[in-house]
Amino acid sequence: MRYLAKGIVQKQSTEHILRINHFGSEFVLTGLRARLWLDARLNIAETDGKDFAEEKELRQLLKMELVEEVGPDAVDEYRALTHCVIVPAQHRGLSLPLAPVENNLLHWITGAGLRLTMAELVYLEEHKITPEAGWLGEENRQKLTEMIYTTDTIFDNILETQMEAAACRDRTVQAILALLRKKRILLL
């Protein structure tokens, strides 16, 4: 099984007891369950499916909504990320350099004035809309929302479906996963 971890590690965590906050609920993970969650914290992790104990613990993490299952294909990575809330991580000092697409996406994530979904981020990349002052901040969130959601995209899940076929989908997914690896974003 391929999967991504969701949630924020709390400061009270130790090497033996992992405390995860997920939308205001705190979960305590220990042992194998904690290791499986940590394996997928910064990238897509994979198990071979042969270890019954691992699979059982992963099913529990799925029930707790602390992991998102990822299918085998690139489109499955996009679909899994559409089920996650992408939030900026607290930046601490020096970090790895960002590619231009990663930098643009991070500016959108940190400055948009609202939480952008994976489909919205793909839309912005697909239409080559750069994170400029006129689109950023709380005062521009309505303008940004109206630009993304037109009569063609306003209906439930239409944008997610349209962006699934976008030419830049895989590049955007890989950039989001790179931001996760570089500890610049978190998934909830």
Q: What is the DSSP string of 30-44?
A: EHHHHHHHHHTSSS-
Mean pLDDT (the chain, rounded)? 94
pLDDT confidence of residue 175: 98
pTM, whole model, 2 decimals?
A: 0.93
| Token pair recorded at residue 176 | 């989001």
Answer yes or no: are the C-beta atoms of 46 and 1 closer than 8 Å: yes
pLDDT above 90: residue 49: no
Condensed to tens digits (0 to 9), the pLDDT of residues 56-112 reads 999 999 999 999 999 999 999 999 999 999 999 987 777 778 999 999 999 999 999
pLDDT confidence of residue 153: 77
Contacts 24+ apart (CB under 8 A), 99-107: 99/175, 99/178, 101/125, 101/171, 101/172, 101/175, 102/175, 102/178, 102/179, 102/182, 102/184, 104/130, 104/131, 105/172, 105/175, 105/176, 105/179, 106/179, 106/184, 106/185, 107/131, 107/136
